[in-house]
Amino acid sequence: MKTASRLDRIPPYLFAEIDRRRDEAVARGVDIINMGIGDPDKPTPEIVVEAMHRAIDDPATHNYPPYKGTRAYREAAANWFERRFGVGGWDPDTQVISSIGSKEAIHNTFLAFVDPGDLTLIPDPAYPVYRTATIFAGGEYYTLPLLAENQFLPDLEAIPAAVADRAKLLWLNYPNNPTGGIAPLEFFERVVHFAKKHDILVCHDNAYSEMAYDGYRPPSILQVPGAKDVAIEFLSCSKAYNMTGWRIGFVIGNQTGISGLGQVKTNIDSGAFKAIQQAAIAAFSLSDERLEELMTVYQNRRNIVVEGLRSLGWPIVAPRATLYVWAAIPRSFDSSLAFVSALLDKCGIIVPPGNGYGEHGEGFFRIALTVPDERMREAIHRMEAASIRYDA
C-alpha cells in the first residue's frame, strides 16, 4: 500500500534524533527538564472550566453546532476584538468565523486559496504548518528570512516583483514563534500597502496576541486603516488562557477570506462543540487584571531564563512577548543540533534546535517558558556545572 505523494513532500522531521536521545535518557532514569513544547503547564482559569460544566449539562449543546460558530460566540469574539484592539463594526455573519483552534483554520485557509502551482509567501523560521499546508494544497512556497538584524521582520522590498505578483497568500505571525520578535503597527501598514499592490490575502497568525510583558500590548494588523480589504487575522484561546487542549479560536477580517475558509470548513468539519464555544465566551470575559496575573507567571520565568543566560555570557535581549526565548548557540558548536544534543546529554535539558523551524533558524535554539521557576533555575545551574557558556 502506498501513501499519497504529498506525504513524501513533507520535510523530514528534524526532532526525530532528539526524540530518540530523549527516550534513551528517560530509560536511563535521567531527570529531564523539558523546555521543548509551547504548551502552557498551568490549568485553564476557573471561570472557563465552570462555564464548561454548566454548558455541558445543557442538552442544547449536544447536537451539531452551526459550522461557522454560534451567533453568540461570533458576537462575543467580535466584541472582545473591539474591546481589545479598538476596531469595531464587524458583521458577525460574514467577517467572523469560529475555528477548532488556529491550526485547523490556518491549514484550511490554504485549501481555500491555493491551487496547485500557486505561490505562498511564508516566514523562515516559522510555525511549520504554513509550509506543510502549502504542500498539502499542491502549492509552492517562497520563504521570507526572519533575521536578527531586521528585528525578525521580513524585508518586503527584497521580494522580487514577479514573485509578489504570483503570490496568493502572505503569512505573518507577530508576536512571533519561534523568535519572540514583535511587529510595530508601522510594519503592518507597509504590509497592507504591499498586499494591495500585489493582490495578496494577508493572513496574520496572532496566536500570542495576549502573551506580552512589561506593559507591552501587541497590535492587530486590522488596526491599519484599509486592512479589512486584504487581511484576515487568526486569534486563539490556546496560549493566553491555558486552553491548548480545548481547540477553540476564531478568524476575523476580510469577507472573501472568511467565506473561502467557511466554504472549506463546511465540507471538512462540522464546527466546534457548542459547550466549548460557551466556555470560550467566558474566557473572553476574563478581566485585564486576571489576564495580567496569568502573564506574570511567564514574565517571571522569562526573567529567570534571560538573567541566567546572561550570567553564562549570552548577549540576550529579553523578549517582550510570546512563550519563548530564542537564543544563539555558542560559536564552539557546529550546529543547532550539536548544541541541543549537548544540552540533553550533559544537562538533561530538552530544547528544540532552531533549524527545526526552517533553515534560517540554524544557529539558534528555543526555550519554552512552560516549566516552573525552580526547574528553570535548575536548568541554568546544570548548564553552569557542565561549563556550557556562550562564546562569541
Residues binding ligand PLP (CB under 6 A): 38, 101-103, 127, 173, 177, 205, 207, 236, 238-239, 244, 249
By beta-carbon proximity to ligand PLP, the closer residue of 126 and 327 is 126
- Residue among 95 and 173 whose Cβ is closer to ligand PLP: 173
Asked whether the CA dihedral 228, 216, 369, 356 is positive or negative, the reply is positive
- Work out how close the CB of 101 gets to ligand PLP at its nearest, in angstroms, rounded to a whole number: 3
Q: Are strands 231-236 and 249-253 parallel, antiparallel or unpaired?
A: antiparallel
Task: Provide, rounded to whole angstroms, the least separation between the CB of residue 218 and ligand PLP.
Answer: 13
141 CB contacts (<8 Å, ≥6 apart)? Answer: 119, 120, 121, 122, 130, 131, 134
* CB 232, CB 202: distance < 8 Å: yes
Q: Per the annotation, does 208 bind a ligand?
A: yes
Compute the distance between CA of residue 245 and CA of residue 242 in angstroms, rounded to an integer: 8
Q: Smallest distance from the beta carbon of 231 to ligand PLP, in angstroms? A: 16
Whether residue 242 is annotated as binding a ligand: the answer is: no
In whole angstroms, the minimum distance from the beta carbon of 37 to ligand PLP comes to 10
Q: How far apart are CA 137 and CA 184, in angstroms?
A: 31
| Closer residue to ligand PLP in complex, CB, 202/347 | 202
70 or 236: CB nearest ligand PLP = 236
Is 213 a known ligand-binding residue?
no
User: Is 390 marked within a binding site?
Assistant: no
List the end-to-end C-alpha distance of the chain, in Å, as a whole number.
51
Q: Choose among 338, 337, 341, 359: nearest CA to 350.
A: 341
Among the listed residues 251, 260, 284, the one whose alpha carbon sits nearest the alpha carbon of residue 102: 251
164 versus 203: smaller Cβ distance to ligand PLP: 203
Preceding amide of 12 cis, omega within 30:
no
The residue among 102 and 242 lying less far from ligand PLP, judged by its C-beta, is: 102
237 marked as part of a ligand binding site: yes
Residue 9 and residue 121: Cα distance in Å, rounded?
A: 18
Determine whether the annotation assigns residue 259 to a binding site: no
CA distance linking residue 361 with residue 336, whole number of Å? 8
Helix, coil or strand: residue 205: strand
For the CB of residue 177, give the shortest distance to ligand PLP in the complex, in Å: 4
Q: Is 127 annotated as a binding residue?
A: yes
Q: Closest distance between ligand PLP and the C-beta of residue 254, in Å?
A: 19
Smaller CB separation from ligand PLP, 15 or 390: 15
CB of 171 within 8 A of CB of 83? no
Is 303 annotated for ligand binding? no
User: Residue 238 annotated as binding?
Assistant: yes
φ, ψ of residue 210 in degrees (nearest 5): -100, -5
- In DSSP terms, which residues pair with 171 in a beta bridge? 203
Q: Which residues pair with 234 in a beta bridge?
A: 205, 251
C-alpha cell at 289: 487584571
Residue 262 is labelled as binding a ligand:
no
- Compute the least distance from the CB of residue 239 to ligand PLP, in Å: 6
Q: Which is nearer to ligand PLP, 277 or 348 (CB)?
A: 277
CB of 173 to ligand PLP, least distance (A): 5
Residue set of the binding site: 13, 38, 67, 127, 177, 208, 236-238, 247, 366
Residue set of the binding site for pyridoxal 5'-phosphate: 67, 127, 177, 208, 236-238, 247
Residue set of the binding site for substrate: 13, 38, 127, 177, 366
